[in-house]
Each structure stands twice: as C-alpha cells, then as structure tokens.
C-alpha cells in the first residue's frame, strides 16, 4: 500500500476514534446523568478526575512509547 494512502487511512481511523470518544465522554455520559437529575457529589467528582488523569497518563505513555517501538521494529527489519 502506498504510504500516503496508509497515512490517510490511519488519519480517518484516528479521527473517528477521537470523535467517538469525545461524544461518549463529553456529551453522552454527562448528558444522560444530567437528564436523569443525578446530583454530582464530591466523591463522584474525585472519581471522574482520577479517571481523566488515568486516561491522560495512559495516552501519554502510548504517545511516548509508540514511536520508540516503531523505530526499534523498523531498525530490526532493516538489519
């Protein structure tokens, strides 16, 4: 496959995931809780905050480790 086609395919996949997760975590989940009249508590806010920080840490690890793994794999393949 042409590298540009692969790049376009990966960009579309990433865009779909980003939009889907944004819809889920920013609109759907809080929206359902708002419509049901859920009372936000401090413990719920703490849990939501821990979940967000956990998500950020996992995303950061993937962003840092992913390119390193690709680099090592390409280096092994070229040798």
Please state, in angstroms and rounded to a whole number, the distance separating the CA atoms of residues 24 and 1: 33
Indicate the SS3 state at residue 1: coil
pTM of the model: 0.56
Q: Name the percent of the chain in helix, strand, coil, to the closest 5.
A: 90, 0, 10
Could you read off the pLDDT of 2-28 as tens digits, one per residue? 889 999 999 999 999 999 999 998 889
| Per-residue confidence (pLDDT) for residue 14, from 0 to 100 | 94
């Amino acid at each position: 496959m042409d590298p540009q086609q692969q790049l376009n395919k990966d960009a579309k996949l990433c865009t779909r995931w980003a939009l889907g997760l944004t819809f889920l975590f920013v609109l759907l989940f809080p929206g359902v809780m708002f419509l049901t009249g859920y009372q936000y508590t401090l413990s719920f806010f703490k849990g939501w905050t821990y979940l967000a920080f956990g998500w950020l840490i996992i995303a950061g690890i993937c962003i840092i480790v992913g390119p390193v793994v690709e680099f090592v794999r390409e280096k092994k393949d070229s040798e």
